[in-house]
Copies of this chain bind each other. A is one copy, B any other.
Amino acid sequence: MRDQALSYAVTRQQAQLEQLKELLSIPSISAQPQHKSDMSRAAQWLADHLLAMGMQRAQVMPTAGHPVVYAEWLGAGQNKPTVLIYGHYDVQPPEPFELWQSDPFKPEVRGQNLYARGASDDKGQVFTHVKAVEAYLKSSGKLPVNVKFTIEGEEEIGGPSLDPFIEQNAKLLTSSVALISDTGMPTPDLPALTYALRGLCYMEVQVTGPKRDLHSGSFGGAVYNPIQALAEIIVGMKDAHGHITLPGFYDRVRPLDEDERKSLAKVPFDEAAFRAEAGVPATWGEEGYTVLEQITARPTLDCNGIWGGYTGEGSKTVLPSKALAKISMRLVPDQDHEEVARLFRDHVIKVAPPQVKVEVRSLHGGKPAIVERSSPVIRAAATALERAFNRRPVFVREGGSIPVVSTFKSVLGIPTVLMGFGLSDDNLHSPNEKFYLPNFYRGIQASIHFLDELAQAP
A: which residues have CB within 8 A of B? Answer: 198, 200, 202, 209-212, 214-225, 227-228, 230-232, 234-235, 238, 274, 278-286, 291, 294-296, 298, 300, 302-311, 314-321, 323-326, 328, 330, 353-356, 363-364, 398-401
CB <8 Å contact, B200 and A317: yes
Contact B310 A221 (CB under 8 A): no
Contact flag A295-B219 (CB < 8 Å), given A304-B310, A318-B304: yes
CA–CA, A308 and B364, complex, Å: 20
Query: Given A232-B235, A355-B284, A302 and B278 touching (CB < 8 A)?
Result: no
Complexed CA–CA distance, A124 and B202 (Å): 54
In the bound complex, residues from chain B placing their C-beta under 8 Å from that of A294 are: 221-222
Residues of B contacting A306 in the complex (Cβ-Cβ under 8 angstroms): 227, 231, 306-309, 311, 323
The answer to whether A216 and B304 touch across the interface, beta carbons within 8 angstroms, is yes
Number of copies of chain A assembled together: 2
Q: Which of A234, A278, A296, A363 has the most CB of B within 10 A?
A: A278
Interface pair A305/B318, CB less than 8 Å apart: yes
Cross-chain contact A216 with B320 (CB below 8 angstroms): no
Contacts of A228 in B (CB 8 A): 234-235, 238, 302-303
For A219, give the chain B residue with the smallest CB separation.
Answer: B278
Is the pair B298, A305 in contact by a Cβ cutoff of 8 Å?
Answer: no
Q: Name the 6 nearest CB pairs between A and B, nearest first.
A: A217-B400, A211-B279, A305-B309, A221-B294, A231-B231, A305-B310
Residues of B contacting A230 in the complex (Cβ-Cβ under 8 angstroms): 231
Can you list 14 residue pairs at the A/B interface with Cβ under 8 Å? A210-B279, A217-B398, A219-B278, A220-B330, A221-B298, A221-B330, A222-B283, A222-B284, A225-B302, A231-B235, A283-B355, A304-B318, A305-B311, A306-B306
A325 to B221, CA, bound (A): 18
Query: Which chain B positions have C-beta within 8 A of A300?
Result: 216, 220-221
Contact B319 A302 (CB under 8 A): yes
Docked CA distance A220–B235 (Å): 17
Please measure, in the bound complex, the distance between the C-alpha atom of A99 and the C-alpha atom of B278, giving whole angstroms.
52
Given contacts A280-B209, A280-B355, whether A304 and B309 have CB atoms under 8 Å apart is yes
In the complex, what's the smallest C-beta–C-beta distance from A323 to chain B, in angstroms?
A: 7
A215/B284 in contact, CB under 8 A: no
Q: Which residues of B contact A282 (CB under 8 A)?
A: 354-355
Contact among B210, B310, B363 for A326, CB-based, below 8 A = B310
- With the chains together, A223 CA to B311 CA distance in Å? 25
Whether B328 contacts A218 by the Cβ 8 Å rule is no
Which residue of the partner chain, among B202, B219, B295, contacts A317 with CB atoms under 8 Å? B202
Q: Which of A274, A308, A356 has the most CB of B within 10 A?
A: A308
Contact yes or no, A281 B354, CB < 8 A:
yes
Per a CB cutoff under 8 Å, which of B209, B284, B304, B326 touches A223?
B284
With A235-B228, A305-B310, A305-B311 already in contact, the answer to whether A222 and B328 are too (CB < 8 A) is no
Give the complex CA separation of A307 and B326 in angstroms: 11
